[in-house]
Amino acid sequence: MENETSLVVKYEGVIWLGVHVALTWISYAQYFLIILLDFIRIATRKLKLGNSSRSKILEDAKLLSKVPKHIAIVVEGKSELEDLGNVILWSIMLGIPYITIHGQTELSHPSTFEKLTKICERKKLEFQENQIKINYHRDSRLIEGDHHGFNVMMSSIQYGRQRLVEVTRSLCQQVQQGMLSPNEIDLNKMNESYGDILPEPEFAISFSSYPCLHGLDPWKTRLTEIITLPSLSGISYSTYFSALNKFANMRQRFGK
């Protein structure tokens, strides 16, 4: 009986020792797993940035045979402002002077606009581009004749619809009052009525689940080359540069 009791006690000790060892190894495994996940997260972030250092971007700018003067960034739904900030700074460093950000109403909201402005200014410091002058506009109609430097404009679906209604109403009133003939209403008259002095976007990247410009004014995109990418979230510099390189190699026939 005593032998059986001592045997049970012995086995219980072995079992508890095994449990203790197992729990210790599990703790070590969790610790190393956390370290591994941190390493993967850091490595993934570096991979997404695609070596987007200042010197890398400036060297890539020399490789582009054609750079759009005006690019439209069309986003579907809510967007990450950090990713937008990256795209804006990449565009500027690659030599694109006009950048329109088009999407939901929240993008042109004063608080969101201010946040994006601060992010872009912070990224200027990160890329050591303090000397770059960026003009931020919530309404392209308010851009004055002197708009040197780089210009970032905000646009939204709702704003586009509202402006269309306003311009249409104004043209109809001019026709009713005899100040304008219906035959005089053409694309140039529409642009004049909109009051925009900016060039039409030559290139647009639509970050969307399907090909769509989400209400970007159609008469401003007659000759715009459009590329659709699935998501803006976590976009890497290499992906963005590949899109610009694709534009540079496009042969534009202009309807011919």
Q: What SS3 state is found at 72?
A: strand
How many residues does this entry show for the chain?
Answer: 256
Name the CATH superfamily housing domain 52-248: Decaprenyl diphosphate synthase-like (3.40.1180.10)
The percentage of residues in the chain with a pLDDT greater than 70, rounded to a whole number, is 66
CB 100 within 8 A of CB 71: yes
131-144: pLDDT as tens digits: 888 988 876 665 65
* Token code pair at residue 223: 């000759």
Q: Is 229 exposed, middle or buried (0-12, 13-18, 19+ CB in 10 A)?
A: middle
The 10s digit of each residue's pLDDT in 39-58 is 565 445 444 444 457 888 88
Q: Tell me what pLDDT residue 19 has.
A: 67
For residue range 106-135, what is the model confidence (pLDDT) as tens digits? 666 778 888 999 999 999 888 888 888 898
Which stretches within 51-145 are classed as H helix? 54-63, 81-93, 110-126
Name the CA radius of gyration of the chain, rounded. Answer: 28
Residue 134 host element (H or E): strand 134-137
Digit-coded pLDDT (tens) for 167-196: 778 888 888 888 888 888 777 777 677 666
**Domain chopping of the chain, boundaries:** 1-49, 52-248
d(CA 215, CA 124): 30
Q: Considering only residues 211 and 205, tell me which one the structure prediction assigns the higher pLDDT.
A: 205
